[in-house]
Structure 1
């Protein structure tokens, strides 16, 4: 499956799920002084961006070194995305990514796995594999995704007050439904790619 810029950006933002990460951000930052909250968020988003860029540039080589195909990446990524989508549609008490430790977050859980989690890492590696000549385009998408995540999470308290807990939860569940459909498409694309490898031999 070939993605255009806007389609890939939409997919990455959905994978990062900034709205779904609002409860995580609120829990992680509740003991952080107000004047440091945006600094901490900016740091975590920058770390997530570095992780995603490393996966984009070097993830392909790692996959080839361990013998994984593009089809395996697409199908494996779809499974991860589907699991995330299920947890978003049917939320649990500990949240999408499990229990969140208290105190000021550092790398875990905001940068990893909330923003640069298995789903976003698998997605950017899949995009890089599908269009190696478009690396700068994918890098721009990574940067925009992290910037969007920063602004959404920085306004988490304001959004929760304005929208209310029920509306925030409804948005998260709707995002989960969209992710489930995208995961299905990723699985079908990976399956098609895998089956096509045997078609010439069958013919």
Structure 2
């Protein structure tokens, strides 16, 4: 049971840092201007979180087959994933906020806010390559069903936290301001950097049998 909670909190902490829903608040608010009511923004937040969950759970469940198809090992993927996460951490440490916006072409192509919730909000703003890599690695490393359930639960809780943050986006921005959001982004970047380095170390140990 201790291993279950250890896996859950580690995966959830990594996911929350990688997804950085607080850092996505300014982008969400700029997109939410398309909503005509508060209920519309809530619906947008809900659909975004559902899209995040569906994206991550799909790659988590199919990750093992993806490894086999491409002939990759979990250790090699862990090293590559660690490098990717470390690069993301460096960007977060600079305090840079996401600059994804809806282009005029996307506005014309999007039939409804349902599409906007999926792209660009859920993918790639929140559940991007870093989040996908994280769930694939930890799901593959979990050898028993209890560990896999812990990863799935972490994905669910992380996705639900995205909904809570986006639902309260205006309050979050008013409370922290853009400076505060940048500060939180830097703190998450530092945490993510340490996790990325550990991921690379574990991958090297596993690959060379150290």
Deviation at 1:91, TM superposition (A): 3.9
Instruction: Decide whether the 8 Å contact of 1:45 with 1:115 is kept in 2.
Output: no
Output the CA distance in 2 between the equivalents of 1:87 and 1:26.
22
Structure 1: gaps spanning 5 or more residues? none
The residue aligned with 2:193 is 180
The residue aligned with 2:24 is 21
Output the CA distance in 2 between the equivalents of 1:32 and 1:84.
30
Match for 2:119 among 102, 108, 111? 108
The residue aligned with 2:73 is 69
Could you list the structure 1 runs, at least 4 aligned residues long, displaced by more than 6 angstroms after superposition: none
Corresponding position: 1:138 with 2:151: yes
The residue aligned with 2:47 is 43
Structure 2: gaps spanning 5 or more residues? 108-112
Instruction: Decide whether the 8 Å contact of 1:77 with 1:119 is kept in 2.
Output: yes
Q: TM-score, normalised by structure 1?
A: 0.87
Output the CA distance in 2 between the equivalents of 1:49 and 1:144.
9
Q: How many residues align?
A: 193
Q: Cα deviations across residues 137-189 of structure 1 (Å, max 9, x unaligned)? A: 21111110000011011111111112222111111111111111111111111
Corresponding position: 1:5 with 2:16: no
Deviation at 1:39, TM superposition (A): 0.4
| Residue 59 to residue 185, structure 1, CA distance change in 2 (3 Å) | same
Deviation at 1:38, TM superposition (A): 0.9
Deviation at 1:123, TM superposition (A): 0.6
The residue aligned with 1:119 is 130
Corresponding position: 1:190 with 2:195: no
Let me know the Cα RMSD of the aligned residues: 1.8
Instruction: Decide whether the 8 Å contact of 1:78 with 1:184 is kept in 2.
Output: yes
Q: Cα deviations across residues 25-46 of structure 1 (Å, max 9, x unaligned)? A: 1222123223211101111111
Deviation at 1:4, TM superposition (A): 2.5
Match for 2:60 among 56, 70, 76? 56
Deviation at 1:82, TM superposition (A): 1.3
